[in-house]
Structure 1
Amino acid sequence: MSRIGKKAVAIPTGVTVTLDGQTVTVKGPKGQLAWTVAEEIEVRQENGELTLVKRSDTTRAQAMWGLSRTLLSNMVTGVTTGFERTLELVGVGYRAAMKGQALSMQLGFSHDVDVPPPAGISFAVPKQTEIKISGIDKQQVGETAARIRRLRPPEPYKGKGVRYAGEQVRRKEGKKK
């Protein structure tokens, strides 16, 4: 059984946390995030820390306790430093470029694939084969990266496709003569 919920979430300077019933709003230098905590959890703000307390001893309350603490910690991290995911394009002719705010990729199809950025997400292309996705909401950054990867996932025979930076693609042996 995890004890993540016991740890307090430290609030750094420059970040303001507002509690309105079950809704927690975190405002920092990079932006503002809000989230509604489950009814089983009570959030308290005291001496520069957020502490979470279970209102009951049910299994759901235990699960929501750790989840809520992690989500609040991610919100504080997001508004202070932000989150970033890096994707790599592997394959002959696979490349990415910025087209205004949108991301334009050549992924071996007969057409270019254009991806507009969702609200709160920004793309950067430092190299033709590298895409950086950044934002303050960890879930949204991960979801956007997964959607782009889903356009052309890495295949096991040649390893071509869109992959996360540092991802190991399990390779298969081709057919033999």
Structure 2
Amino acid sequence: MSRIGKKPVPIPGGVSASVSGQTIEVKGPKGVRTFRATDDVDIKVEENTVVVKPRGTSKRARQQWGMSRTQVENLVTGVTTGFKKELEIQGVGYRAQVQGKILKLALGYSHDVDFPIPEGISIVCAKPTEIAIEGIDQQEVGEVAAKIRDWRRPEPYKGKGIRYKGEFIFRKDGKKK
């Protein structure tokens, strides 16, 4: 039995869920999200909850059971509160700013990096060294954060670069005489 899969997903007030075939659509104050489950699971809306059940006892059906329930929960969370990733920039002269639909990054290259902000994602720079990425799709928010981080990953000697807020960077000693 899947410990995660057997828990029903509660639907808060102001959110509606509808199932048609293997596709569930969740509407909330922040937007609309859909998820198409595999044929190994059944999805039903009962009162104020969404219940996911496996169609058999095969290993694949049990794997899809917990994963599908988590995906449905992420839909509900996305349309109610949304997802957020925070990045911090460390390094002399490294900074970020939002200009319209473009994130401008000064990361020590001979040119500024222009990162176009995708649809459905909002990026805010409260300080020149902090970037907050928000959206209703957890996977898309994480992917945008990873792409921004890839422009200048934190290096282990001085700790310069773009890191997730609270991320620990293992520091190394330099050369010794």
Q: TM-score range by the shorter chain?
A: over 0.9
Shift of 1:45: 0.8
Q: C-alpha separation between the residues in 1 aligned to 2:76 and 2:7?
A: 14
Which position in structure 1 is the counterpart of 2:132? 132
- Structure 1: state its 5+ residue gaps: none
- Separation (CA, whole Å) in 1 of partners of 2:57 and 2:13: 34
Tell me how far apart the structure 1 counterparts of residues 68 and 98 of structure 2 sit (CA, whole Å).
36
What are the superposed Cα offsets for residues 109-160 of structure 1, whole Å, 9 maximum, x if unpaired? 0010111111110100000000000000011101110111111110011110
> What residue in structure 2 maps to residue 24 of structure 1?
24
What corresponds to 1:71 in structure 2? 71
- Alignment correspondent of 1:43: 43
Percent of residue pairs bearing the same amino acid type: 54
Measured in 1, the distance between the counterparts of 2:64 and 2:118 equals 28
Which residue matches 2:174?
A: 174
Q: How does 1:91-130 map to 2 (within 5 A)?
A: 91-130=91-130
> Which TM-score applies when normalising by structure 1?
0.98
Q: How many residues align?
A: 177
| Kept in 2: contact 1:18–1:25 (CA 8 A) | yes
User: What displacement does 1:8 show?
Assistant: 0.3
Shift of 1:100: 1.0
- C-alpha contact (below 8 Å) 1:5/1:52 kept by paired residues: yes
Q: Write out per-residue CA displacement over residues 35-80 of structure 1, whole angstroms, 9 at most, x where no aligned residue.
A: 1011101001111100111001111111111111111101101100
- State the shift of 1:101 in Å: 1.9
Offset at residue 170 of structure 1 (A): 0.6
- Ranges in structure 2 where 5+ consecutive residues have no aligned partner: none
Question: Which whole-Å CA distance do the structure 1 matches of 2:171 and 2:60 have between them?
Answer: 40
8 Å contact kept, 2:2–2:65 = no
Shift of 1:2: 4.6
Q: Moved runs in structure 1, 4+ residues, more than 2 A? A: none
Asked whether the 8 Å contact 1:102–1:123 carries over to 2, the reply is no
TM-score, scaled to structure 2: 0.98
8 Å CA contact 2:9–2:72 kept in 1: the answer is: yes
